[in-house]
Every structure is written in structure tokens, then in C-alpha cells.
Structure 1
């Protein structure tokens, strides 16, 4: 017969009681009533030098809302009133929705918007633009945007700065790489402090016959990599040289854009023809893009502080961005 010492019996009782608490606490259901909030609307728009505006108007989703093709499509609103003003000249913008486009125009829309044809065929995305030849980005001028949706008004303004030309631009393989490289550029920054820039690149050559995507242009549109925005805080008024890796287009399923599988992801390849743009942007646009990229880069970090993206939209959130263009072409050769 097994006998427990009184102290042992006490310890056994304590352990049993703690086990009971753990078992019951794991079964407790906590319900939190989230307060109702007003709809929050979003503007995402760009206007490049000598190009028409492209403006998305949407509605922000709740943190716990389901995310699927239907919810994403519902976030883009077709019934807004959108007006562009440049030096008191008013240009109403028209909504063009991909769901209304014939199949032969869907590929052109995919190239214009920077999305894949497959993605646009799944989603009915609406974008606001103008066919007026005068409704284009103009260097040195402010571009005002007024949006009204469901009786709520949003406003934003962006200025397109004078672009700073690229002194030189070239492709080079780093380290031991023999056919994969990055693009280098050099500029002379103007003497005024606060100049801001954003980099874009587009591979314009067609994929070869052995490629699974044979016959397609490598990049349908210009792509900005993470870290694409920078300012002259450390090189104001100086000659400055920089290098840039290749970015990945949103929603891309190309094999050479897969960082987990392809050694070519992030690199430009020997034989590529690359159109590059160094765009000058105003300070508010730089701050918005930099805050967005910082949020993307810090996702999943337990040490990152919670933060919101900086916005230049009054009455909503988002970014209305103007770009002055300095453009060149790089042939990736040894």
C-alpha cells in the first residue's frame, strides 16, 4: 500500500488544482464588440510628366474583414466624381472599368495599369483618367485633385518638379556573378536641399524560346523596387552614384520573379534591354512612398513600431503623386 507524506499530499493537491485552472482557462471564450466606424475612402493616383492621370478611388477594409477577389474588387468604386485642375483649367476624369473592356483591350489595360491580364480578368477594377490631350502632367506646376464619393469630399495636390538628368547609367555584375547584375546611375544633385527622387525600370526585351513565358515582354510596365525613393539629405549639391536591384511587378507569377526559387530574382540579366526612369517628386510624395516602403520592409518584425502610411490626401487617406521624368535606356552587355 502506497502512503503519501502530508507534505507530499499537499504538493499533489496544489498540482491538481493548477491543472484544473489551466484546463478551464483554455476553454474560456473572449468576445470583443468592435465599435461601428464611418467608411474611410482612399485615393491612389499618379500623374507623370506629359502623361494622363491615373486615379483609383476605393474604400478601406476593416482589419478583420475577409480578403478575397470579391472584396478587393468591391474596394474600387466606380461612382465617384473626380476632377483634375491645373492652373485653373478643370478636367473632369472618366471612370474606365476593366469589366467593361473587350478582351482585345484587356491586355493593353494590363500594360497601362501594371497588373497581369489574369488578375484583371478576375477583378473589375475602375480607374479614373482623361482623354483630353491637355490633361497631362506639367513640370513646375501644381496638380489639384478633387474627389467626391458618397457625399464625402477628398482633396490632394502634387507638384511635378523639374527632373534631374542622369549623367550616366550602366549595368554591372557584382561579386562573382557572371550574367546577373544591377543597374548603376550617376547624377549631379541641384544645390537646394530637399530634392527627392524615385526610380523605375522596365525590361523591354522579349523572352526567348526556351523560356516558359516565351514571346512575352519581360516587364509589361515600369516597376519600382522596394527602396525606390530617396532624397538628397546626404549628398545635397554633390555628384552622386547609386545602384538599384530589379523590382517585381505587383501580382507577378513569372518564374524569374520568385525569390524563393529563382537565382535571377532581383537581378537584370546579360542581354536585357532596360528602360529606366529617375523621377523627381515633391517632398510630400517622397514621405508617403518612404513610409509605405518602410511598412512593407518591417512586416513581421517583432521590433517594428506600429505606424501608418503618410498621406497627402485631405478628407481620406492615400497618395496623389506627380513625377518629373529623366529617362534613359541601358543595354546589359559586358
Structure 2
């Protein structure tokens, strides 16, 4: 599918680097200056975007829910409404954070948790709108977010494939034009046990949702699972950032501190470079080792005094060939083997690769026949 411009000038898709979202969420503790610090730290770590959570409490909760008693180690007030109010930024505060993010050079957006917040984020010009797992079953919210025309990033925690398929149909097949869409595999457990992550769902999503880009929102401990998600094809990854995992708030424990976020970004970029090409080819970095250890493949004894054998090419240490014999052109590359009649494959040096003993037979081996 076509690359998607998720934020101005930054595309996701085939051949594009993975887009890394630093989820600040409510780890700012209700403090604008702390939120700015987190924005700056995310930028310094190499994240592509920062994200908050935003809601209109009176539209998201009824009066009974807001008035109910609330206690525990993560409570900011005795009533749930007052607790949530402590963690909400006003429109003016959110705009202040937008301006600060613009100054330091990192895009900023938010998860919309109700329709008025979708409209607010649209008015404020965020580059894309996130819909979290807690609202993936809210079809009116998803439809209103799609109506903005902005890309949607949708997490799929607490859902099964039937429901995610319905969301996809609502946002892709039922929309004209289809909503620019990213679907994130996610498990809503804080922290998520590795055996509940199921990265193979990324493969399923890529197969059954051809008009959506696929990504991963992680709540596990550490960075290794998220790096593996990128190796498995995630175009977007999202992880929470905190300055201290021991702070009050249920998200801090499974968040990444700045040094961990930096390590994640570096690991992702390293893995992307290592994925490389599907073509097996002689690499320039192999030259020194081949000059030392390579053979010319002729079967002839090395000529006296080193140098070139008759008909041979350039030689390295000990008279060895400076390129593998299967690549007579001398290029650090080759051709992709093509299927041939008889079930074999063309060998890069000519001939066919023939499996002795039949396909899958015990003791089967592969040889080259000219």
C-alpha cells in the first residue's frame, strides 16, 4: 500500500523508518512544566512524536461516576472526578504544550476519549488522532474521528479479531475515501506478560487489513519485545515515557525512562539497518576476511610465488581470489535464483540446485549441477 504521511514530512510504510511515539499520557502528574520536560526528553531520545491523553470529563463520565469515592496508591483526590480533573490540561494549557513542542521540534498529538475532544483536537490542528484501546468499541467516536479526515491510529487492546475487523470495515471499506488508518496490536495489561503480547497478530493484521498500516503499542517491561515488533513489520510503535518509574500513577511502572527510550530508538534503527535486503550477496565488509580465508575454487594448486593462475583473476593474500567464484562479474551482489523446471533453482554460478533424495527425504542434501 502507499506510504502514509502521519505527520508533516514524515511517512510510514514500506521502505520508511518505523515511527516511534513517546506516550506521555498522564505521566505528567498534572504539571505543565513536567509535561514540557517530558516533551524535551522525548525529543532528545530521538522519538518521532509525543502524545498525551485528552478528555472532556463531563462528556465521558456521568455524574455518578465522577462523584464516586476513589482511593489507592495512585489517587490524586478522594473522588474519581477530582482525581481525573487533576490530570487534565485545559485547552489553553494544551496549546501551550503544542507551542513548546513546536519550539523544540517534535510533533504533538493526543488520544481523544470522547467526541468533544475529537473536535477540539481537530480545531487545534494535531497531525493525527489516536483512539486508545478503551475507546476502540466506541463506533460513534471512531466515525467522528474519521470525519476529520486526519489519519487515525487505533489501538486494539481488549478486543478480538472479529471486533477489530468490524472497526477496519467501518473506517476503511465503509468510508469514501478510506480513512488513513494505523491499527496497533496491543494488550491492555500493565505491565503485559510476554506470553500475552502475541506479536504474530501483526502478521494477521497485515494479511486481513490490506488498507491499514500495522503497528504495536506496548506495555511490557523493557524494550526487547518492542524491538521484535519492528523486526516483525510494525510501522509504528508506541511506548510510555516517564522520568521515574516509582512515581504515583498506574502507567509509570511499565513506562520507559529516558535512557531506556534512547536505547529503544537506537535498537530500532539498528534492527532496521540489519533487516537489509532479501537478496543474499557478497558484502564489501567481507572483503578482508575473504582475502585472508577465501579459495579460488579452481582446484588447481597455487602457482609458485603467488600471483595469478592462468585464466585467474585478481588475487589476495596467498594467491586467493578477491571475489567468490560464484560471482564471476566481481560485483558485490548477484541474481535472485529463479525457479527452473524439475523443481530445482538456478545456482548463481550456473546450473541447478538439486535436492538429493527427494524433497524432505531423510539425509537430503543440496548440490550444484552444471
Larger relative strand fraction: 1
| TM-score (norm. length: structure 1) | 0.23
TM norm structure 2: 0.21
When you count helix as a share of all residues, which structure comes out higher?
Answer: 2
